[in-house]
Structure 1
Amino acid sequence: MQPNYAMDDAGWDKLISDVAHYFDDLTLKRGFQYYKQKRVQAFRMITQQRIMSLVEGREDYAVSVELDNLPESHCDCPVSGLCKHMAAVLMNYAELQGKPVHSIANAKALVHIPKIPSAPAQGVPGRRGEQLKKLEALIPEATVQQWREYMALLIEPLAHTVRNPQYADRALAAISGVRPKLSPAAAQLFKLHTHLCVLESLVKPGGQPLAANLSSLGYSVGYYTSIAISELQKHITDMMKKSLPLAESPEEWPRVYDTIAYLRGEMLTEARDRSRDQPYFSYCYTLLWTHWITPNLSGPELYAEELEHLRQAGSDLSTNASRHARLLAESRMYYYLQDDAAAMEQLHAAAERPGLHPEELISFLPPLAEARQWTRLTAWLAEIGPLLSSRLYNLQEYAGYWDEAVRHQPEAEPQMWDTLAGMLPLSREIYEEQLLTYGRWPEWMDMQLSAGRQPADFRVSDLQPVEKNAPELLLPFYHQAVERFVLDKNRHSYKAAVKLLKRLAKLYKKLKREARWEEFLEAFTDRHSRLRALQEELRKGKLIP
């Protein structure tokens, strides 16, 4: 495990200051999008001040970030100077350090955000104050709709302020300042609707969805609003992954039904573009069913009822976005009813529209793994794999579920290979990793040779499993690379060739083929006798006298 190299407060403050000084606002904005889309891969702390990573863009760019001297950072992309890939790596670093990501993303403006007055629940004069007092008294017995009316009044004074992380914090504080006496289940529902109310005010200020006006850069919401939404979604996710104790408070089911109806309506009407961001309310709808409703059900009736509600709601909506959201939700209900054929049919229909978010597909897998339904898990893995059409999505989680399925059901392994092979080239990275994990050395080496990969593309440790278990496979790999280096005809490539020849000598010795090695080396030296620089490097490497 690589060291964490924790940064102290003084170092963090300096980093924020340096980011604000050296990066421009647009670069930070684009870097935040890359960070949010999980394009930062292979993140490694080399030293306390140096980070190495790969960032997925039009190509995979190698990024080196110097925390104590940002101008000395480097990226393989065409941009000269500090770029969005470096910014994304810094935001990923902030997350791993447990620091607020928006402090990096919003570094240039963070200290200049104006203070927003909060809206106290008590002491508000006039008609609005009377409404607040009346509604506050009703909270313990109120419906979800009445809760939302009260919350809307509390955040009304913030309506004309900029939608940024500070706005979200003030809005949450304005509502959370009220602490009615509620059962644990009711308190969780109230807290959820507090966050949903603020989320709606971010996504639909004045009742108009921000996504209706896409910018030329392809962002569905503004930069600072996007930061606020991202943080709010994390709070909602953490909150909803804790169980809802409905068994202790069955009287809260009507509020649950109201919550389902609210999220269903928002999910079916929110915009769905081709960005990598999962639709906000669709995500909350999935969390509600997965973590709060399903664990509290003992029969299928509510799933069947929800199917009817979805069909009825869908008949009143005509946009493609709402149709695909409805199909996805219907698929989930069939899934809960264990009618997998119908669920998969609806899922395929929903996936016909490009841009279906990968998490909406992956979310079908965890409940099956937790329930140890290995046959169903295998079937869903095979069904979902071809639908994961985004090359930028990290498939490690998907591969992990295959490992779990095969470990408990070994006969599923051929289906795993067929599925992963059918997903190429998207699945190339995890396919290669699985080949190594399962000891399929010849297939792995065939892929490297056919792709024109070279030993220099790998760390020595990466090739150690092959060298240990099937060293003979490395012979053509190294021989091919040596010949390529010689064809470059320069001193640097000759040195690289000699280094590989030394590794070849060790392999031949390990395979007890020293005579074959001597024959090759003699023929190689004779064939390239006119290349004086190569001959010199061979002597320096003590390969020839």
Structure 2
Amino acid sequence: MRLDEKLHAAFEQQLGNHVSGTIIKRGWSYYKDGHVQNAQETVHDTLTGIVRGTDLYAVVMDAEHFGYSTCTCPFDGYCKHMVAVYFQYCADALGGEPAAEQSYFRLLGLVPASTLAKRGNSEESRGEEISDLGEEGSALEWLTWMEGEYGETWRKCRHSLHALQPVLSGLKGLSKDWDTKRRRLHWSAAIMFVLEQAERAINTVDSFSRYYHEMSFLRMAEPWIEHLHTLAGELEPASMSDAERAWCDELIGRMKARALLMERQLFEWGYIYLSFCEKLSADPIWHKRELDSLLSELGMPHAGERNDSFLHAAIGMLYFLRNEDEKSLHYFAQGAFERIQKLIYPCVAQRMEEGSWESAESWMAFLYERVYQNRNARNIGPFMALCRRADTDRPELPLWNDYMTELLPYSYTELSEHWLNLQRYEDWADLQMFLGVKAEEIDAAAMREVAKAAPQVLLPLYHQSVDSAIASRNRQGYRLAVKQLKKLEKLYKSTKESAKWDGYLAELVSKNQRLRALQEELWKGKIIT
């Protein structure tokens, strides 16, 4: 058995992210010296192996979730035995030691000697020159090198992004032993580069199949983008050196340039840009400089098309980070709501979390106006989540319930669940009646909960359901009516109102005495005798 190609590439990336260069080199030595006695892929995408060291050690590596990988050796962390098993697996499953060697060099970000031997003198010189960039190279210099070395990889990505995975692993390996802060920035640049390559690749796809390729590319790139956001969240602006700040500025400038393009893009560069801005805005000097830059950009004339919606959203976000909500709302209002709403919802949630309810009300009014104008399931869901949270935290304010009810029927599911969670059973039952929801259409678990806690509120619901079933004038409807009558009888008894049940049933039978089929079903169901 062997790992799926996509999973194998992702697994190698995780191995490269979690294991230091020193451990990788030791693992390679263990593999080369024949210490691995067994390595194979078993069920559930798991690699297992036995390695002889000071003792025999058993290795289990989860290819999908590397964090669950283990080794029985005493080393605390990811060890050389795991790496050795991986190399042995590559050799066994992918074509012998050359395959293992390729993986080894990718993990370290190096070029195999066999590859160098095939290059011309000019390329060899270029490789030596570029390898001297190291930690001293700037973001622009590194991105220029990446373009020169791997800038044609997108041509191999006509149907998938698999060709970019080893490129990313190799690029990350180049800075594996750097200082943590500089390595974080280098990895950010590497991810940006492969994302740009992916976008160049998608533009070669014909329009007929573009949608399907986009879905495939986005799934493949999802862990890369997630890692990029994680790297942004780990930035430490308070302790950055001038060189690190320069790296950040170059990366952010590149993200901003892509976000300003009006052409259709595969990735949401504006959100990536703002994830870096959110962290760096902890430095007030940087924040002011970036905000002034955006405002200046917005005020400048430009040739061709420019994504002004992104500019308005970015300015609005930076004002939000400075707690200037009025200005923030002003700029958000000028952007296309369908493009910026994902930015606004977290802003409102943050104000609620901070207890800034006056600001939260302003944000919610802003959202409601636009959600109401564009009522659909995609817009309603996030807004309803905010309404539910607000109503839970500040139930004395009727505003939240007003929003939720005015959005009916689109808000029915969320509102019904909300009132049920708050044990507002009478409001919940009134909602079902108002929208004409029949008892048999409601979730059985919800009905059991209400029947146990507040059975009296269900009586009108079952009356309505029985009447509707009888009005169908067919045998199937009559059988449903009998089923609901049995439940209704139990409800009357649980509320100790048996006399009312008897009166209701007598009136029902008398009213429908001409419906012989109904009378038969009532008799069969032992409702009447």
TM-score under structure 2 length normalisation: 0.70
Corresponding position of 2:136: 141
Alignment: residue pair count: 424
Is this contact kept in 2: 1:135–1:146, CA < 8 A?
no
The answer to whether 1:200 aligns with 2:196 is: yes
Aligned partners of 1:330 and 1:346 also within 8 Å: yes
Aligned partner of 1:265 in structure 2 is 257
Distance in 2 (CA, whole Å) between partners of 1:385 and 1:218 is 35
Among residues 199, 203, 222, which one is paired with 1:210 in the alignment? 203
CA contact (8 A) 2:367 2:383 kept: no
What is the aligned partner in structure 2 of residue 334 from structure 1?
A: 319
* Aligned position for 2:480: 496
CA 1:272 to 1:224, structure 2 compared with 1: closer, same or farther past 3 Å?
closer
Deviations 1:145-176 (A, max 9, x none): 11211222332352421241312312212322
Q: Which amino acid aligns with 1:284?
A: I
- Over 3 Å counting, the alpha-carbon distance change for 1:330 and 1:428 in structure 2 is farther
Name the counterpart of 1:285: 273
Between 183-192 and 117-126, the greater mean CA deviation after superposition: 117-126
Higher mean displacement: 180-189 or 362-371: 362-371
Local SS of the residue matching 2:334: helix
Going from structure 1 to structure 2, the CA distance change for 1:190 and 1:499 (only over 3 Å counts) comes to: same
For the Cα contact (< 8 Å) 1:140–1:180, is it kept in 2? Answer: no
Mapping 1:257-406, distance limit 5 Å? 257-271=249-263, 279-290=267-278, 292-294=279-281, 296-297=282-283, 299=284, 301-314=285-298, 315-317=300-302, 322-351=307-336, 355-356=338-339, 358-368=341-351, 371-388=354-371, 389=374, 391-393=376-378, 398-406=383-391
Kindly report which structure 2 residues correspond to 1:241-260, keeping only aligned pairs within 5 A, or say none: 241=233, 243-251=234-242, 252-260=244-252
**Cα–Cα, structure 1 residues 429 and 503, in superposed 2: closer, same or farther, change >3 Å?**
same
Equivalent residue runs for 1:111-126 within 5 Å: 121-122=110-111, 123=113, 124=116, 125=119, 126=121
Shift of 1:240: 3.6
Q: What amino acid does structure 1 have at the position aligned with 2:346?
A: S
Unaligned runs of 5+ in 1: 1-8, 17-94, 99-114
Q: Distance in 2 between matches of 1:496 and 1:187?
A: 68
Q: Structure 1 residues 408 and 472 mapped into 2: Cα distance closer, same or farther (>3 Å)?
A: closer
Q: Give yes or no for the alignment of 1:127 onto 2:122.
A: yes
Residue 260 of structure 1 and its aligned partner are, at CA, apart by 2.0
Q: Give CA deviations for 1:70-90 in whole Å, capped at 9, x if unaligned.
A: xxxxxxxxxxxxxxxxxxxxx
**Contact 2:153-2:164 within 8 A present in 1 as well:** no
Identity among equivalent positions (%) equals: 22
Contact 2:161/2:198 (8 A) holds in 1:
no
Question: In the aligned structure 2, how far is the partner of 1:418 from the partner of 1:225?
Answer: 42
> 1:334, 1:340 within 8 Å by CA — same for their partners in 2?
yes
Q: 1:175 aligns with which of 160, 171, 177?
A: 171
When residues 420 and 132 of structure 1 are mapped into structure 2, their CA distance, relative to the original with a 3 A threshold, is farther
Which amino acid in 1 is paired with 2:145? Y
Equivalent position of 2:411 in the other structure: 427
Q: After superposition, what is the alpha-carbon deviation per residue over 1:399-444, rounded to whole angstroms, capped at 9, x for unaligned? A: 4444554555454x32222333344444332233223333444443
* Larger gyration radius, structure 1 or structure 2: 2
- Matched to 1:305, the amino acid is R
TM superposition shift of 1:378:
4.3
Task: Give the superposed CA RMSD.
Answer: 3.7
- Kindly indicate whether residue 439 of structure 2 is the aligned counterpart of residue 448 of structure 1: no
Amino acid in the other structure paired with 2:438: Q
| Distance verdict in 2 for CA 1:458–1:529, change over 3 Å | same
Q: Please say if residues 261 and 305 of structure 2, whose CA atoms lie closer than 8 Å, have aligned partners that are also in contact.
A: no
Q: Specify every segment of 5 or more residues in structure 2 that has no aligned partner in the other structure, as ranges.
A: 8-63, 68-98
Q: Answer 1 or 2: which has greater helix percent.
A: 2
Name the amino acid aligned to 1:135.
Answer: I
**In structure 2, C-alpha distance between the alignment counterparts of 1:289 and 1:145, rounded to whole Å:** 19
